[in-house]
Amino acid sequence: MTPARVSLAVTAACAALAGLVLVAFSVGRFPVAAGDLASVLWASLTGTEHGLDPTIEAVVLKIRGPRVAAALLIGAALAAAGAAYQNMFRNPLVSPDILGVSAGAAVGAVLGIFLSLNVIAIQWLAFAFGLGAVGLVYVTANAVRGHDPLLVLVLAGVVVGSLLGACVALMKYLADPYNQLPAITFWLLGSLASANPDDVWSTLPLMLIGLLPMWLLRWRINLLSLDDEEARALGVETGRIRLAVVAAATLMTSAAVAVSGVIGWIGLVIPHFARLLVGPDFSRLLPTSILLGAGFLLGVDTLARTVARIEIPLGVLTAFVGTPLFLWQLATARRGWQ
């Protein structure tokens, strides 16, 4: 693509995202007119009075604001982590779900809920278990030689994932059925309904810490998609870079899972689309994945709270939207990878 076309595409994508944010603020059980939205936001930025119904302010700033911010952050984080995992495992089919990161983070977070810990402790438990899960999958897949590595990796992910699923089931069985069990179940289905400003502020730094090494190492991440020995012959210390990027991607995934619960498909489908749009170079793939991921989750979350009288769990909706998209990709884009 020529630079002019790139900047045009970036501008269009940012404009579309901004439009989506406006729509997300406006629609819902309590519709907010665009003019009211603008005056509330202006008033909160400048610290002046807007003279409108205080309910409007509460809806915009206390309810929808954190939720929109959380959707943008989490969508971006899951998509960025997915793009990094796909490059690192040289495989456009891996994602935080398939590698067991989400399942591991879920075990950590459910354990946190089970032990009635606070959000920050839950995030760190989710991170530790997520890292443990991806490590276990990777070690298992490396230990089994003489088979198709892709198949072994996916199988190892399935096996580790089902073990972790059993751990979650055990904790659900042992949890207090009146307080903890509904919280765990609701959370496992994925939801941003309870997102509050504290969640956003405690998650944002973790996401940025995860994003920093990915952006700094963006050129070397391209080389991680080569054969390991080839990348080393080109001068890359693959072991260290891989460790840094796995830790960064797992941190982002775990931080997201700790706030929103398990939301699948974004880490798998969004980087695919980004790669179809801008190619595999990570310096373009990462920002594109972030933009698309943020927009996708915001759109799906807005649908989740508006299409039906009750709120649809996010994990359910992303699967309903993501599965057909993924199958369509599998059928049409396969030739592009090989």
Partner 1 sequence: MQLEAKHLDFGYPGKRVGSDVTLALDAGEVLCLLGPNGSGKTTLFKTLLGLLPSQGGEARIDDVDLRARARDEIARLVSYVPQAHAAFFPFTVDEVVLMGRTAHLGVFSSPSRHDREVAMGAIERMGLGLLADSIYTRISGGERQLTLIARALAQDARIVVMDEPTANLDFGNQVRVLEHIQALARTGMGVLLSTHDPDQAFICADRVAMLHGGKLARIGTPAEAITSESLRQLYGVDVEVAQVETGSGARRTACIPLLQQQRPAAL
Q: Residues in the site for partner 1, rule: CB under 8 A?
A: 87, 90-92, 216-220, 222-223, 225-227, 229-230, 232-237, 241, 275, 279-281, 283, 336-338
For partner 1, which is the closer residue by CB, 28 or 280? 280
In the complex, minimum distance from the CB of residue 281 to partner 1, in angstroms, rounded to a whole number: 6
In the complex, minimum distance from the CB of residue 157 to partner 1, in angstroms, rounded to a whole number: 18
In the complex, minimum distance from the CB of residue 229 to partner 1, in angstroms, rounded to a whole number: 5
For partner 1, which is the closer residue by CB, 271 or 295? 271
In the complex, minimum distance from the CB of residue 223 to partner 1, in angstroms, rounded to a whole number: 6
For partner 1, which is the closer residue by CB, 126 or 141? 141
Question: Is the Cα dihedral 281, 284, 290, 296 positive or negative?
Answer: negative
In the complex, minimum distance from the CB of residue 95 to partner 1, in angstroms, rounded to a whole number: 15
For partner 1, which is the closer residue by CB, 87 or 203? 87
For partner 1, which is the closer residue by CB, 91 or 203? 91
Q: Are 249 and 100 in contact (CB under 8 A)?
A: no
Buried b (16+ CB within 10 A) or exposed e, 147-165: eeeeebbbbbbeebbeebe
- Of the candidates 123, 113, 150, which has an alpha carbon nearest to the alpha carbon of residue 250? 123
